[in-house]
């Protein structure tokens, strides 16, 4: 998968946004109990999650992977005594005793990768023999594919975010379903990297489709579908919308 034309314009803003959810991204650490040695952070960016995890759980080894060499360079500077790689085939950790952490990465693989990239991604996730696979990302439920809530849509059209709405509908079509509406509500504030964000598919697969991808060699040990509290609060402040639809998933899978 090439990152060329999808590079982040304002990297500092992007990383700051990612760091706000660090605590939530650590959700897996008290929910896995069978022995494992290493946490491999897939899509590690500048290594901030690993940096936060180490003092909390110093008894694990940590490693990071990211497709972007510039991010890897930043991670090596940020956490200099942890190994980081930008080439999957060069990773040197024992997968069979490793927890693979995938946070806010799946939607980017689908957004910027080819069908072959997506297949390779899932093969790496489920075909490498990881002890645990931890997933946290934006993900819709099939019930969102219904007509858009009329009151919420009207609130959006009356808001001060008409430019973002126009841009969004030029890319994704006129909002008619609740899935489209929630998709817009998740991204309208990210104006600093807007040209990238407006085109990125936050909802490439459903939670139900993800479940179908999990092979029999893994079992679910934790699953939570939820709405980010900050997003719900922000929508109340900006548009008076009470968002109760689930926007994210947390999933932990254990190899059996």
Tens-place pLDDT, residues 147-156: 999 999 999 9
The predicted model gives 199-213 an average pLDDT of 98
Q: Are 17 and 44 in contact (CB under 8 A)?
A: no
On whether the pTM is more than 0.85, the answer is yes
Report domain extents, the chain. 4-140+201-255
- Mean pLDDT, residues 20-41: 92
**Residue 99 pLDDT exceeds 60:** yes
- β-bridge mates for residue 147, sequence order: 177
Phi-psi category of residue 84: left, alpha or beta, with phi > 0 → left and psi -120 to 50 → alpha = beta
Q: Given pLDDT bands bounded at 50, 70 and 90, which one contains residue 113?
A: very high
**Stronger pLDDT, 16 or 237, i.e. the higher one:** 237
Which token pair is 101? 């952490």
Measuring CA to CA, which residue among 65, 57, 58, 117 is closest to residue 89?
65
Long-range contacts of 210-216 (CB under 8 A, 24+ apart): 210/106, 210/135, 210/139, 210/249, 210/251, 213/122, 213/126, 214/126, 214/253, 215/126, 216/256
Per residue in 41-56, pLDDT (tens digit) is 999 999 999 999 999 9
Q: Which residues contact 198 (CB under 8 A, 6 or more apart)?
A: 164, 167, 168, 171, 187
What are 156-203's pLDDT values in tens digits?
Answer: 999 999 999 999 999 999 999 999 999 999 999 999 889 999 999 999
Least confident of 16-20, 139-143, 224-228: 16-20
Query: Could you tell me the strand order of the sheet in which 218-226 lies?
Result: 84-85, 61-65, 38-42, 98-103, 132-138, 248-255, 218-226
What is the CATH T-level fold of the domain 4-140+201-255, as seen in this structure?
Rossmann fold (3.40.50)
Residue 230 to residue 243: CA distance in whole angstroms: 11
DSSP state letter for 66? -
Give the other-Cβ count within 10 Å of 54's Cβ: 16
Which residue is associated with the tokens 């500048």? Answer: 46
Q: Select from 192, 169, 195, 150 the least CA-distant residue to 5.
A: 195
Structure tokens, 70: 């510039």
């Amino acid at each position: 998968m090439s990152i060329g034309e999808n590079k982040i314009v304002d990297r500092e803003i992007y990383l700051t946004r990612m760091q706000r959810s660090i605590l939530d991204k650590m959700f897996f650490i008290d929910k896995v109990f069978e022995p494992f040695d290493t946490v491999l952070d897939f899509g590690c960016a500048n290594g901030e999650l690993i940096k936060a995890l180490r003092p909390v759980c110093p008894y694990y080894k940590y490693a990071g992977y990211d497709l972007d060499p510039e991010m890897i360079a930043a991670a090596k500077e940020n956490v200099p005594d942890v190994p980081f790689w930008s080439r999957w085939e060069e990773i040197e950790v024992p997968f069979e005793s490793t927890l693979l952490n995938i946070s806010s990465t799946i939607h980017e693989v689908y957004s910027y990768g080819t069908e072959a990239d997506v297949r390779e991604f899932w093969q790496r996730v489920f075909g490498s023999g990881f002890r645990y696979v931890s997933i946290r990302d934006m993900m819709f439920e099939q019930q969102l594919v219904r007509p858009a809530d009329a009151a919420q849509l009207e609130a959006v059209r009356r808001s001060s975010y008409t430019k973002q709405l126009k841009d969004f509908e030029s890319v994704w079509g006129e909002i008619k379903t609740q899935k489209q509406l929630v998709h817009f509500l998740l991204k309208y504030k990210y104006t600093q990297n807007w040209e990238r964000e407006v085109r990125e598919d936050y909802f490439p697969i459903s939670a139900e489709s993800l479940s179908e991808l999990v092979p029999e060699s893994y079992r679910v040990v934790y699953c939570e579908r939820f709405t980010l509290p900050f997003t719900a609060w922000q929508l109340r402040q900006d548009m008076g919308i009470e968002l109760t639809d689930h926007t994210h998933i947390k999933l932990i899978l254990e190899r059996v």
